[in-house]
Amino acid sequence: MYEFVSGPLVWISFGIFFIGLLVRVISYIKGLDWQKDRVAYSAAGIPGAAKSIVYWLIPFGSQGWKNNPFFTIGTFIFHICLLGVPIFLLAHNILLDESWGISWWTISDSTADWITLIFFVAVIFLVIRRIVNPNVRLLTTGYDYLILAIAAAPFITGYMAYHQWMDYKTILIIHILCGELMLIAIPFTKLSHFVLFFCSRAQLGMDYGIKRGGRYGRGICW
C-alpha cells in the first residue's frame, strides 16, 4: 500500500493537478470578452494587472485588505503556512532529492511543528469567522467547511505522524493520501484560486486601470 500511494499515485495526483490547473487557466482566459474589452486586455493593461496582483499579495496593500484587518492577518498566516511547510519541510525535501535530484533551503522539524500549530489557529479563526460574521455566514455552506478540511487534513495527519500518535506507517499512508487528495481537489474546487487568483486580479487590474484610470492613481482602492 505504501509503495503505491508514495509512487504511482503521487504521479497521478501531480498529473491531475498540473493538467487540471492548465485547463482552468485556459478556460478562464478564453472566457474573457476579448472583443468588448480589447483595449483593456492589451499591452496597455499590463501595468494595471501587475499593480493589482502586487498590491493584493502585500498585507494591507489593497483597500480590501485594509478594510478587514483581522481577516487579512488570518488569511496571510493561513496561506503562508499552507505553502511554506510542504515546500520547505526537511522530510519533503529529502524525498524530493531522492526522487528528482532537486533540493533547496529547508526548515527544521521543530520549526515546522510550531508553524503547523500556528496554521491550526488560523484555520480555527477562519471557521469561527464563518460562524459569527453574519455576512460571511449567509454565503457559507458545508462545501466551504469541506474545502478547509481538505486543506487542513495533510497538516493534521502530518502532525500526528511526526509525533507518532498512531501506528507510524498507517498514519503516514493517510498523510500521503490527504496530500494527494488536496492536489487532485485543487483544479476542481475553490482551491483553484491558488492559480486563478492571478488571473482574476490581472483581469480586474486591466479593467480598472484602463476604464477607471486606476493606473494614474497613487495607490490602489479596489
169 is a domain residue: yes
Report the domain count for the chain.
1
- Which SS3 state, helix, strand or coil, does residue 18 take? helix
Q: Please write the tens of the pLDDT for every residue from 5-45.
A: 877 898 899 999 999 999 999 999 988 887 777 777 877 78
29 is a domain residue: no
221 is a domain residue: no
Residues 146, 191: contact at Cβ < 8 Å? Answer: no
Q: What is the DSSP string of 131-193?
A: HH-HHHHHH--HHHHHHHHHHHHHHHHHHHHHTT-S-HHHHHHHHHHHHHHHHHHGGGSGGGH
30 is a domain residue: no
User: What is the value of pTM for the model shown?
Assistant: 0.87
Q: What is the CATH number of the domain that holds 131?
A: 1.20.950.20
Q: Please write the tens of the pLDDT for every residue from 203-212.
A: 888 888 777 6
| Cα Rg, the chain, nearest whole Å | 20
Short-list 3, 6, 28, 1, CA closest to 179: 6
62 is a domain residue: no
Cell numbers for 205: 487590474
37 secondary structure, DSSP code: T
51 is a domain residue: no
Residues spanned by the domain of 84? 2-13+67-208
**pLDDT for the residue numbered 33:** 80
58 is a domain residue: no
Q: Please write the tens of the pLDDT for every residue from 135-191.
A: 999 999 999 999 999 999 999 999 999 998 888 899 999 999 999 999 999 999 999
